[in-house]
Amino acid sequence: MNLPVVQARLTEADLERIRGAVAHVRAHDTDQVLADLLPDLTAEERADVSRHLVFDHTAVLVFPDSLDGLCEELRRCGLEPGDVTPSVVVRGRLARRYGALMGETPVGIVHAPVDGRSVEIFALPVPPHSPLQAVAADERAAEHEAHHAFALASPGVVAPAGLRTLLQERAGAMPDGGGYNGHEDVTVLYFRTRHHRRFELRLPGRHEPLPDPTLSLLGVMTGAWATQAIRTMAELAIADHLADHPGLGTAALADLTGTDPDALRRLLRYLTTLGLLTSAEDTYHLTALGQPLRTGTDFSLHPLALLYGGPFYDSFAGLTHSVRTGQEAFAHRYGQHHFTYFAERPELGTLFHRSMAASAEMFKPVPALVDFSGVRRVVDVGGGNGALLARLLRAHDHLEGVLLERPEALEAARTELTALDLAERCTFVTGDFTEAVPDGGDVYLLSRVLHDWDDDRCLTILRRCAEAMRPGAQLLVVERLLPQHTAVAWDVHMLCNVGGRERDEPHYRQLLKKAGFAVGECHGLPLGASLIHAVRATPCF
C-alpha cells in the first residue's frame, strides 16, 4: 500500500525568497559577489582572492509545514533538488537564539543546482499553530541565515589562513560563528561585513581557527576599554541617534551629543572595530550588535551597559581581594552589600531593576514549557520588577499573581505591571524570603535569586518556600548553569559583586532535594539560562 506523501507547503514569501536566490546565482560571478559584499577590497585583491575561492551558492531559510514532500514542492518551482540532509550548523545557531522553543525540531538542508552553482535551502518545519511560528516570523524579518557562500579552490592549510586574515584585516569582515558539518565533511565559517551582509567560507574537512596568541591576549586584556567605550556610547545615546538618523556624520553626532568632534570620531572608530557600528566616508550606521543599546525597545541592554560600566566595573578592580578572601569586592569597595547600597540610592536601584529587565528575554519560552491549565495562583519569590510573572499573566488569563519583594523593588514592579494592565491581577507583598514566603500558591518562582547566595542561604530560601507550599505544588527555578560559557563569566561576577555563585545542574538538584523537593526536567532558555522544574514532595525540615 502506497501512503500519500505529506506536502511541504511553502508560503508565497518563502517561494519569492527562493526565486530571488536563483536569480542572484544566475546573474553573478565570483568577482561580482566579492565586489558587492566587500567593497573595501581593491580589484587586484579581488582577483587574487578569486584564484582561491569560487562563488558556490546563495542560501535562504524557509519554513515549510513539514520536511516531507519538500523536494516535490521545489520541483514544482522548476528546481532539481538533491536529498534533504540535516543542517548541524544552522540548527545550532537557531537553538542558541531561541532556546527551548526549538525543542528537538530538525533543520533540513537541500541543494538545488543552478547554472553550475546552487541555491542552498535551509528548511525549519513549522506546522500550523506551532510555537515555532514566532521563530519563523522573526527569522523572515531579520534574515539571520541568508548569505552567499564561497568554496575553497586551493588545497592545503596556507590558503584558508591567508584568506581569513585578508578578509578580516583588509575587507573588515567579522567572524560570525560556524562549525564542522560531519554530514558533508565541510567546515563552515560565517562572516558578517561592515554593511550587515553575511557570507560563508566552505573548507573541505575539519579546520580549527588559528588565532595569533599575542593578539588574542591583547584583545582580552583591553576588554576594559571596550566596556567603557560601550558605556560612553550608551551615555551619549549614540544608538538612539543613529537609529533615528542612519548615516549621520561625526559633526552632526557631535552637535547632538555635545561632544568634541575629534574625540567623538576616535570613539566611533573604536566602536566600529568592536562591531557595534559600520562606517563609510565619515558616516555611521548601527549594526545588529549595536541595536540592543537603543532605549525604549524590548530587552534593551542600555541599562546593563551603564551598570556594567559603572559601579560593577569599579568593584571589579577589587577582584584580587575577592579571590584572596572569598568575599565580594563590592562590599570591600563601597562598605555595603550591593543590594543595600543600591536600595539607599534610588537612581542606582532604578538602574539595577531596569538592568534585570534587559535580560528578561530568557523568559520568553517559559509560559509554553509548563502546563498552567490547572494552576490558579503563581507566587514570584524575589521577582524584582515582575518580568517573569508578567509574562505568565499575559500568556494565561486565568492566573493571578503574588509578588514578594523589598519595598523599593515592589514599587518598580507595581509600575511595570500597571503599565501592562496586570496590576489588578497581582498582590504585592513586602517581605524577606529568608524569613517567610506567602502560602497558598500552586506554582512558585525563583528566578535569578539563588545565584545571589551561598549554599546555606540557598537552603534557607528553598526551605521557606517548601514551608509555604502544599505537597504537589510546583517550583520553577531560573538560573544560568555551569559549565555553560556565560555562566562561567557570571560566576566570577557573582564572586566579585554579590557574594553568590553560579552552579551546575547536579548542585541545584542536591540543594532542592535537601529542601524537600522532587526535581524534574531541566529546560534550556535563551541567553544561556535554564529552567529547573521541581515539585514539593516531602514535609520541610
Residues annotated as part of the active site:
451
CA angle 339, 343, 346 (to 5 degrees): 135
Contact 178, 192 (CB under 8 A): no
Say how far apart CA 426 and CA 447 lie, in whole Å: 17
| Phi, psi dihedral angles at 379 (to 5 degrees) | -105, 115
Can you spell out the DSSP letters for 503-515? EEHHHHHHHHHHT
Contact 66, 125 (CB under 8 A): yes
Say how far apart CA 481 and CA 502 lie, in whole Å: 7
Greatest Cα-to-Cα distance within the chain, rounded to the nearest angstrom: 79
The answer for residues whose C-beta is within 8 angstroms of residue 196's C-beta and 6 or more apart is: 278, 285, 287, 288
Q: Is cis: bond before 483, omega within 30 of 0?
A: yes
**Type and span of the H or E element at 174:** strand 174-181
Smallest CA-to-CA distance from 4 within 67, 69, 76 is with 69
Say how far apart CA 267 and CA 52 lie, in whole Å: 36
Residue 144 CB neighbour total at 10 angstroms: 16
Residue 500 CB neighbour total at 10 angstroms: 21
Say how far apart CA 541 and CA 528 lie, in whole Å: 33
Cα 76 to the center of its chain, rounded Å: 37
CA dihedral 58, 17, 294, 524 (to 10 degrees): -80
Say how far apart CA 49 and CA 53 lie, in whole Å: 6
Smallest CA-to-CA distance from 536 within 476, 453, 450 is with 476
